């Protein structure tokens, strides 16, 4: 087979003859064949993007270099021939999307067709077909900045192939995306290669992406140091698709077997915040999404209060916020609260509320299944849940139990929900099944590594400490008074009201999920509701809610708070110290001091 791209003795120098002269490419020799999926892999600054730009005709290499693409000598093309090459034979996908923000999604995709003199009706029809193919046809009239990063990149791909080019060049196309969106984009590129037989050349620095390639060129310091043929391409992709986020965390535990789950929780905190952010917002710009990820991470680490998070969500993006209106910010805060509380309950081992004999009963799997199923139906199925048959509920609970006990993985859980009722499945529609699956995966990821308060410490609190607990509860209530007033009209979670609950959407009390949830730094200040008339109720319930700060002050220990500028090493050391303290406090009852 004859190659469609060939380079020989390719050299490229930036700022030639100047003091800052830099050799970006040195004697590059390679051949690329039709219908291949090629990846240029290496660290930043190794020449990957420069090599891609030379193939694209955007950079002119040094004299003596030979570059041939589709039979064209790139060193001899005129400007008109370059225009024909770009218009007919080449499509490009960029890391930063490079969409025209003043045009609609549909017009962005259809734009290249104008340079082929395709009529308006015809080009818009073809562009809409591509949008439907990539699942974004409903966004066709919006402008790109109203969409998520993953959606914008799919628009970029649609634009790149609208003129049906033979070659698609992708420069770090998933560099700005979360793992779910990245996988979706890689699958689209894979389909273009395998189904439509397009030659794909992609630049990446992430080794996880290499499984999609037929061949990988490894670059370093401007040279190709190795070329690898991926013989197990399809096998590796299938293996990767079966791995869930929970399974990746398990792999991480094996890799860092010397660390506890609490310490690994610190390591994966950026990963958690990214998943959390993309789970709740899909219509913000890249900058606003990054702000959301940052405030989520600070909230999970306990370095930002609930009030601060609310203000960040509501603050205009030009002032460093996310730019939500008050009503939307309230809804997101309520959803985040519920998800965090549910994730804590799923990993909890003992009820905090004492029995008559003063002991703490274990939280059974059946209790977790009952509460988690109710949560999932309320969150993902809402008012339609009442239409489910009793047998459907039973099957859903079985699937939930199998998932939280790791009897099945993510794909198996989705299949159980999506499978028709007559075939022993739950019989949900595919959209709802997907939503429920993503929600339970979020819960499992968020709850991982949360430190449990030792019941022995709870039992050790005497009457003198009750005042401290009350003061802590009063301080939290005062701290969030502004947020509570904003959220007073929120109707989120009204169907979840139970005895001891203070107002709409509140998830503070022990009885709300029958879990006796212990407050942690990441939950402090995030509770909603609470009017002045029920202040005594909150204080009374706070007797059973022991904050880590109170326990630390009782035992003359330093509270573990990670500041924003805390290094990973310092965080791990602090976590190890915290682990040591908990173990010392639990010498007489190890069974009650478990980490998840």
pLDDT at 355: 80
More confident residue, 72 or 573: 72
Q: Examine the pLDDT at 192 and tell me if it is beyond 70.
A: yes
Q: Examine the pLDDT at 336 and tell me if it is beyond 80.
A: yes
pLDDT at 287: 75
Window from 47-56, 174-183, 447-456, 503-512 with minimum mean pLDDT: 503-512
Share of the chain above pLDDT 70, in %: 67
What CATH number has the domain spanning 5-241? 3.40.50.300
Closest CA to 133 of 171, 162, 96: 162
Q: From the CB of residue 506, how many other CB atoms can be counted at a distance below 10 Å?
A: 25
pLDDT at 345: 87
Encoded tokens for 510: 């022990």
Sequence spans of domains, the chain? 5-241, 246-354+450-596, 360-447
CA distances from 97 to 108, 188, 555 (A): 11, 15, 54
pLDDT tens-digit map of 246-294: 555 555 555 545 556 666 666 667 767 776 676 666 566 767 788 888 8
pLDDT at 458: 28
Q: Beta strand 199-204 with 215-220: parallel, antiparallel or unpaired? A: unpaired
Instruction: Please state, in angstroms and rounded to a whole number, the distance separating the CA atoms of residues 200 and 194.
Output: 10
Instruction: Please state, in angstroms and rounded to a whole number, the distance separating the CA atoms of residues 350 and 436.
Output: 26
Q: Examine the pLDDT at 214 and tell me if it is beyond 50.
A: yes
CA distances from 416 to 151, 188, 429, 437, 518 (A): 28, 26, 11, 10, 33
State the pTM of this model: 0.45
Are residues 134 and 151 in contact, defined by beta-carbon separation less than 8 angstroms? Answer: no
Mean pLDDT (whole number) for 74-87: 92
Q: How far from each other are the two terminal CA atoms of the chain, in whole angstroms?
A: 55
Q: Tell the residue number behind the tokens 């009706």, with chain if given.
A: 121
Bridge partner list, 168: 91, 200
pLDDT at 201: 96
Are residues 449 and 262 in contact, defined by beta-carbon separation less than 8 angstroms? Answer: yes
Q: Tell the residue number behind the tokens 């709409």, with chain if given.
A: 504
Instruction: Please state, in angstroms and rounded to a whole number, the distance separating the CA atoms of residues 97 and 145.
Output: 11
569 Cβ contact list (under 8 Å, min separation 6): none
Mean pLDDT (whole number) for 15-34: 92
Are residues 351 and 511 in contact, defined by beta-carbon separation less than 8 angstroms? Answer: no
Bridge partner list, 541: none
pLDDT at 89: 94
pLDDT tens-digit map of 46-60: 999 999 999 999 999
Instruction: Please state, in angstroms and rounded to a whole number, the distance separating the CA atoms of residues 289 and 347.
Output: 28
């Amino acid at each position: 087979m004859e190659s469609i791209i060939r380079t020989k003795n390719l050299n490229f120098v930036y700022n030639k003859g100047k003091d800052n002269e830099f050799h970006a490419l040195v004697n590059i020799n390679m051949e690329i064949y039709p219908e291949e999926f090629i990846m240029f892999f290496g660290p930043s600054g190794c020449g990957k993007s420069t090599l891609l730009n030379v193939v694209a005709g955007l950079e002119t290499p040094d004299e003596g270099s030979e570059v041939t693409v589709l039979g064209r000598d790139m060193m001899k093309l005129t400007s008109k021939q370059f225009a024909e090459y770009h218009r007919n034979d080449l499509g490009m996908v960029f890391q930063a999307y490079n969409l025209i923000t003043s045009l609609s999604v549909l017009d962005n995709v259809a734009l290249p067709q104008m340079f082929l003199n395709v009529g308006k009706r015809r080009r818009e029809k073809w562009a809409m077909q591509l949008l439907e193919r990539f699942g974004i046809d409903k966004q066709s009239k919006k402008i790109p900045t109203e969409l998520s990063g993953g959606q914008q990149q799919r628009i970029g791909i649609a634009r790149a192939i609208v003129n049906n080019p033979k070659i698609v060049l992708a420069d770090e196309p998933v560099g700005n995306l979360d793992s779910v969106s990245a996988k979706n984009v890689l699958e689209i590129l894979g389909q273009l290669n395998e189904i439509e037989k397009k030659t794909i050349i992609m630049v990446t620095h992430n080794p996880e992406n290499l499984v999609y390639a037929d061949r990988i060129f490894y670059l370093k310091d401007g040279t190709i140091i190795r070329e690898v043929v991926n013989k197990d391409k399809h096998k590796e992709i299938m293996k990767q698709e079966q791995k869930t986020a929970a399974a990746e965390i398990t792999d991480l535990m094996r890799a860092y077997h010397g660390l506890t789950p609490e310490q690994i929780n610190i390591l994966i905190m950026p990963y958690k915040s990214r998943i959390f952010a993309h789970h709740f917002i899909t219509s913000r710009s890249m900058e606003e999404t990054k702000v959301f990820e940052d405030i989520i991470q600070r909230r999970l680490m306990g370095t930002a209060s609930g009030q601060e998070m609310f203000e960040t969500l509501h603050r205009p993006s030009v002032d460093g916020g996310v730019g939500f209106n008050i009503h939307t910010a309230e809804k997101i805060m309520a959803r985040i609260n519920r998800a965090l509380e549910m994730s804590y309950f799923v990993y909890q081992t003992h009820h905090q509320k004492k029995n008559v004999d003063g002991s703490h009963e274990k939280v059974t799997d059946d209790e977790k299944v009952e509460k988690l199923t109710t949560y999932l139906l309320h969150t993902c199925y809402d008012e339609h849940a009442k239409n489910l048959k009793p047998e459907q509920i039973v099957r859903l609970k079985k699937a939930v139990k199998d998932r939280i006990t790791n009897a099945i993985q993510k794909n198996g859980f989705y299949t159980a929900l999506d499978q028709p009722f007559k075939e022993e499945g739950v019989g949900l529609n595919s959209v709802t099944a997907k939503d429920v699956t993503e929600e339970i995966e979020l819960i499992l990821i968020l709850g991982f590594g949360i430190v449990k308060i030792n019941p022995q410490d709870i039992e050790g609190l005497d009457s003198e400490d009750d005042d401290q607990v009350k003061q802590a509860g009063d301080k939290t209530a005062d701290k969030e008074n502004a947020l509570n007033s904003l959220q007073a009209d929120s109707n989120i979670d009204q169907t979840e009201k139970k005895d001891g609950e203070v107002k709409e959407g509140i998830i503070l009390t022990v009885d709300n999920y029958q879990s006796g949830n212990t407050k942690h730094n990441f939950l402090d200040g995030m509770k909603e509701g609470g009017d002045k008339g029920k202040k005594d109720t909150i204080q009374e319930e706070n007797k059973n809610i022991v904050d880590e700060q109170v326990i630390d002050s009782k035992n003359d220990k330093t509270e573990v708070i990670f500041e924003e500028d805390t290094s990973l090493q310092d965080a791990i050391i602090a976590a190890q110290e915290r682990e040591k303290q908990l173990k010392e406090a639990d010498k007489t009852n190890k069974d009650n001091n478990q980490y998840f």
